[in-house]
Structure 1
C-alpha cells in the first residue's frame, strides 16, 4: 500500500477508529495502542494470541483501518518504529521495571506534545476571557470526567466567584441547567467512557446560547457545534487511560484565567489567604 505524505500515522488511525469498532476489534485496537511495537514485530497469528482475539478479528481490524492487508499495516507500524520512538519497542525488549517506567513517562510526554500542538494560545485566552466575563461558569463531568470538573472548578474559584461543578450529590441536572443563560460559560468534560446524557447537555447549552468548551479524548472527532473543542491525547502504556494532558490543560486554563484577571485576581487571592490564615488560627 502506497503511503502519501498526508497520510495519518498508524497510531492516529487506530485511535480515530476506536469509537466505531466492534467489541473484539476495539479490544485489539486498545491493545495495539498500548503496545504498538507488538504489531510491528509479530505476525497476525501471534498478535491475535497476545490480544486474546481471533485471527479473523485481526484481519477485519486492519481493513477497518484502511489497510489492504495485515502486512501493509505491519509495514506502516515498522516505518514509525524506525523513527526511534520507545512506544514502538516490543514489550520483550525491556526489563519489566524499566518498561513500566519508560513507557509511562514517554507516553505522558507524547500525549502532552500531541495535545498542545493542536491548541493555540489564542484559543486558551479566548476561553479564559469568556470565563472571566461570564455571569456564571458551569463545569460538568461524569464518571472519569467528574474529578477533572471538580478540580477545574476548585482552581477557578481562586479568581472566579460564580463557578459551579455538576453533578452534585443528591442534585438533579435540571435544577441547575434551568438557570443556564446566554451570558454564561460552560466547560463540559467528555472523556471515555462518555455517558449518553453528555450530548443532551451540549444540546441544552446550544439552546441556551451559552459558550461551551468541550474537553474530550482524541477518540472523538472535532465537534463544530461547540465554541471550543480541545481534544486531549490519552493513549496509555497499560490498561488505564493516561490523563496527564487533561490535568495539564486544567492547570493551564486556571493559570491563564488568573493571569488575565490582573489585579482583581490578585486582590481576591490575597483575601482568600487572609481568611485561610485566620481560620487556621481558630
Structure 2
C-alpha cells in the first residue's frame, strides 16, 4: 500500500473554477489563470495590482477574471485561499517564494528550487490514485507509454522499467508508424501512461482524445498548467516543474515515475521476479553488459 501524505478534503474551488473557464479566457486572463494554477498561494501576499504586474496584464483584467470565474471580488478569492491554507490544503500552500541557503549562490538556489519541486509534487498526489495505477499496470492486458518532445524521454524511461517485470509494454509514438496502427487495438482492458509536460505537442491532445474514445484508461503525468488534456485522463498527477531560469526542473517528474515503477516491481510477485531473472540470464548469455567497468 502506498504510504504518502493524503491531501485534505478541501474543495479546491479556485482550481476547479479556473479549469472550467480556461479554454474561453482571453489572453490577458489566461495569463492570470496560468499564474494562479501554478502558485495559487501567491494570491495571499499579492495585491490585485501586484498580481496584474506579475502576470503582465492590467488591474482591470484581474477584476474581469475574478468575476468571470464566479467571485464577487478579489478579496473573496483571497479569503477562500486563506481558508484552504488553514485547512492544510497542500496545493494552496504552494508559493513562488523559495529562500536560497546563501544569497547569491546560484547552485544553492538551484538545489532549493528542486527540493521545493519535489515536496510540492508529492504533496499534491493522492496515494489512492497511485495505488490504482500500480494495480492497473499489473492487471492490464497491454500497457502503452506515450510522450512527445521532452516527455518522450519520460515515456521511454517508464517503458524501460516496466518491461522488466511484465510483457506487452509499448512506447508511443513508434518511429516510422502512425499512431492509429496502435490505437486500433486499444480497449478497456489496457492502460496508457501519458506524459505531457508543458509546451505540449498538439498531437498529444488529439491522441489522448482518441484513446479516451476507445475506453482505455489513461494515467496522465503532467504539470500544474495542464487543463484541456486532463479531461481525457482517468488519473492525473500534476507535477511542479518550475525552474530558476529558462529550463523547467523535472526532478519531481522523474522521482514520481521512479516511485511508480518501484511499486510495480514490489507488487509484481513471483511472476515479475521470474521474468526479471530470465532477462538477466539472457543479458549474461549474450554478453550485453560490460562487467569490467
Same fold by TM (over 0.5)? yes
Rounded to whole Å, the distance in 2 between the matches of 1:104 and 1:268 is: 35
Structure 2 counterpart of 1:271, from 240, 260, 278: 278
The equivalent of 1:116 in structure 2 is: 126
The equivalent of 1:106 in structure 2 is: 116
Runs of 4+ off more than 6 Å = 81-86, 91-94, 221-226
TM normalised by structure 1 equals: 0.72
Rounded to whole Å, the distance in 1 between the matches of 2:12 and 2:188 is: 39
Rounded to whole Å, the distance in 1 between the matches of 2:188 and 2:16 is: 37
Structure 2 counterpart of 1:258, from 260, 265, 268: 265
Structure 2: runs of 5 or more not aligned? 1-8
Deviations 1:135-174 (A, max 9, x none): x432222234322221111111112232210112232223
How far the C-alpha of 1:232 sits from its partner, in A, is 1.1
Rounded to whole Å, the distance in 1 between the matches of 2:41 and 2:188 is: 49
Q: CA-atom RMSD, angstroms?
A: 4.0
The equivalent of 1:156 in structure 2 is: 162
1:173 paired to 2:183: no
Deviations 1:11-49 (A, max 9, x none): 665567555533222222333445556532333223222
1:69 paired to 2:77: no
How far the C-alpha of 1:125 sits from its partner, in A, is 4.4
1:215 paired to 2:224: no
The equivalent of 1:143 in structure 2 is: 149
The equivalent of 2:236 in structure 1 is: 231
User: Contact conserved, 2:143 with 2:193, CA < 8 A, in 1?
Assistant: no
The equivalent of 1:25 in structure 2 is: 29
User: Contact conserved, 1:128 with 1:256, CA < 8 A, in 2?
Assistant: no
Rounded to whole Å, the distance in 2 between the matches of 1:117 and 1:128 is: 15
How many residue pairs get matched? 270
SS at structure 2 position matched to 1:272: helix
User: Contact conserved, 1:140 with 1:167, CA < 8 A, in 2?
Assistant: yes
TM normalised by structure 2 equals: 0.70
